[in-house]
Structure 1
Amino acid sequence: MKDYQMYIPTYEDMLDAHARIGPYIRRTPIRTSDYLNELAGCELFFKCENFQEPGAFKVRGASNAVFGLSEEQAAKGVATHSSGNHASCLSYAAMKRGIPCNVVMPRTAPQAKKDTVRRFGGVITECEPSTSSREATFAEVQAATGGDFVHPYNDPRVIAGQGTCSKEFIEQTDGLDAVVAPIGGGGMISGTCLTLATLAPETHIIAAEPEQADDAYRSFKAGHIIADDAPKTIADGLLVPLKDLTWHFVSNHVSEIYTASEQEIIEAMKLTWKHLRVVMEPSSAVPLATVLKNPEAFRGKRVGLIITGGNVDLDKLPWLNAA
């Protein structure tokens, strides 16, 4: 096994990951909408990672990490910190392998995501909703448990796993002019870069981010990582900053980062619920929000959008809170 803490994953690692995780993930479908195509002025293809069993794309990277562990490593279990989807997906993968999983989650994380973690057997320790509190609390948990640290995104095993999504996407659509995915810590975007740089280098990779958590946008423009400690946005899956591995991919392969306001995210979420008829969480609506906000950048093109997750608290939908 490579020293994964220092290793930049390769296209071959992505192919290995796809073979390794095949029994534990779904080849998620593509959805389209004539109405949304007309509204956006381009041809939109939505990759529905919300249809994964734990409800998010992160089951790909989590499964690659968990099932890549030696028996000796696996005996101690795994541990992580996460606002929700990585926690639930790592718990799911650990359950499938029959090993313990400890996760640190912000106390403000959606109840639906906490419930999912516990349903898959994950043990939750809560922290304050800031990067510093999350990392400090996690250090205590890992010291107590000894579990293998599977970082939510700054881990080459995770990035290689996330890259399998774009491999399927290109195969299912016969090619795309651009792929747009949400960006928080950058795991999905990094996996997208990893795969498309080899498989479809002509495809532009666009990152989409909330205006109220736009540290990746500011990092991209400045040419170095700018980290916010505790941003606030309804897109709770996009609260964490870039790290060294994900910055490597973002800085070398991403064509542009666009941002959307909270209201634009809500409106895009409502549009997709209504016209795609699928449940998605606010973070997943950011790509469509940015496409609709920047029509000149996408007009007439074949554009792939990754619906990264569908874990929502139905009693606290953002348009209900805004009413």
Structure 2
Amino acid sequence: MIETVTVQDVEAARIALKGVARETPLRPARWLADKVGGPVDLKCENLQRAGSFKIRGAYTRMVRLSEEERARGVVAASAGNHAQGVALAASMLGISATVFMPVGAPLPKVAATRGYGAEIRFIGTAIDECLVAAQEFADETGAILIHPFDHKDIVAGQGTVGLEILEQRPDVKTIVVCTGGGGLLAGIAVAVKAVRPDVRIVGVQAAGAAAYPGSLAVHHPVSLASMSTMADGIAVGRPGDVPFALIDDLVDQVVVVDDETIARALVLTLERGKLVVEPAGAAGLAAVLDDPAAFEPPVVVVVSGGNVDPLLLLRVIRHGLAAAGRYSTLTVRMPDRPGSLASLLAALAAADANVVEVEHARADPKLHLDEVQIEVQVETRGPEHRDEVLARLAREGFHVTTG
């Protein structure tokens, strides 16, 4: 039998979390409200302790362990946010913690997890491999596995986000939740639907790691053969049994978004919302950007975490700017003679495009002996301006490819 979760479980978790988890704020997103046609608020779990909602579920699970279980220690598997939540909860409760993380996990998440006192072991490249290793460690040592999403206490803890949303925005009509294994989405659905069954709840997955749509179609969890997304925090290959049963019953829809839209949403949240958000945390925002008319206001979008590697943030910002038509790489083949580069730069200046970087290539075997390939990175004001720049270069005889 799969354990279920009730709103009473969520309310009990809220009592247990008093003084532990922050009641994170709702912040209005007027830049999204204009598109939706009504109020849009961001539920800022990126401002939660340890940088994400995960402390809610991890502490709820661990505070209920017996003294004998606490003495055996805990083990977890995580790409970063659950690791930090478990490590922080363990340090607060005086429990030793071991965390299995994928090779290549974001360095700031690794450093923060260590900083909370957990022992880290690296294995594999995906959370599913880490889960297998964590379960084997639990079997061998007797440590208690703190699953990132597939346990009723975890789901109940995450559901406290839903209780806060109902208090902070009583007239909410739509709640949008980024989704990996499903613990956050399931918990919010339990909390909200018990009180306001009319509220539409939408889960959002990255297209490169979308296990829920196919699973919901057949009403049981189905594993993905492979995953590829920048949103590592929601890259989970198989829905959890506990959250899946709740989501199948309570959630109105699960949609998918691509990495380009996630990157664009992250840039807009940074630029317009003044919030640092990781790619997984921006998935809900990406869904609203994709199809604003599909979300009846007032809308609350859960921003689940802000633990992003600065190097990844640089790449995502550039990717997001490119997706928004504000940053382009232009490759131009032209005669290798004095004045060629100057003519190209003059054309770009006349089109009001800002040149960021220029590179020459002469050794490409595809080039003729008297040719040079110039790669120019330029800033533009948006898709229309980018198209104007390309059109001007074409009119002046430049052969341009974009990337």
TM superposition score normalised by structure 1? 0.94
Q: Is the 8 A contact 2:77 2:127 kept in 1?
A: no
Which residue number in structure 1 is paired with residue 196 of structure 2?
A: 200
Displacement after TM superposition at 1:321 (Å): 6.4
Q: Does 1:259 align with 2:269?
A: no
Partner of 1:154 in structure 2? 150
Task: Please state how far the C-alpha of 1:102 moved relative to its aligned partner.
Answer: 0.9
- Partners in 2 of 1:96 and 1:229 — Cα distance? 38
Q: 2:269 aligns with which of 269, 272, 276?
A: 272
CA distance in 1, matches of 2:263, 2:317: 10
Aligned length: 318
- The 5 Å alignment of 1:206-285 reads 206-240=202-236, 241-285=238-282
1:66-102: CA deviation from partner (whole Å, max 9, x where unpaired):
1111212111121111111111101000000111011
Structure 2 residue identity aligned to 1:31 = R
- Cα distance in structure 2, aligned partners of 1:120 and 1:222: 41
Task: Report the 3-state secondary structure (helix = DSSP H, G, I; strand = E; otherwise coil) of the residue aligned with 2:239.
Answer: coil
Highest relative contact order (Cα 8 Å, sep 6+), 1 or 2? Answer: 1
Structure 1 residues 157, 85: CA separation in 2 closer, same or farther (over 3 Å shift)? same
User: For the Cα contact (< 8 Å) 2:32–2:289, is it kept in 1?
Assistant: no
1:81/1:87 contact within 8 Å kept:
yes
Q: Is the CA contact (8 Å cut-off) linking 1:131 and 1:230 kept in structure 2?
A: no
Letter aligned with residue 294 of structure 2: A
| Structure 2: distance between partners of 1:106 and 1:136 | 12
Larger Rg: 2
Q: 1:223 to 1:144 in 2, by over 3 A?
A: closer
The structural deviation recorded for 1:229 is: 4.8
Q: Aligned runs of 1:1-323 on 2, under 5 Å? A: 6-130=2-126, 132-240=128-236, 241-299=238-296, 301-317=297-313, 318-319=315-316, 322=319
Q: Is the 8 A contact 1:167 1:199 kept in 2?
A: no
Shift of 1:320: 5.0
**Aligned-partner SS, 1:291:** helix
Give aligned-pair identity as a percent. Answer: 31
What one-letter code is carried by the residue in structure 2 that aligns with 1:291?
V
Q: Which residue type is aligned with residue 274 of structure 1?
A: E
Summarize deviations over 1:160-195 as a string: whole Å, max 9, x none.
Answer: 000001101110112310100011100000101110
Please say if residues 148 and 154 of structure 2, whose CA atoms lie closer than 8 Å, have aligned partners that are also in contact: yes
Q: TM-score, normalised by structure 2?
A: 0.76
Cα separation, partners in 2 of 1:126 and 1:246, compared to 1, 3 Å: same
> Which amino acid letter does the alignment assign opposite residue 142 of structure 1?
A
How far apart, in 1, do the equivalents of 2:215 and 2:130 lie? 22
Contact 2:266 2:317 in 1 (8 A): no
Give, in angstroms, the shift of residue 202 of structure 1.
1.1
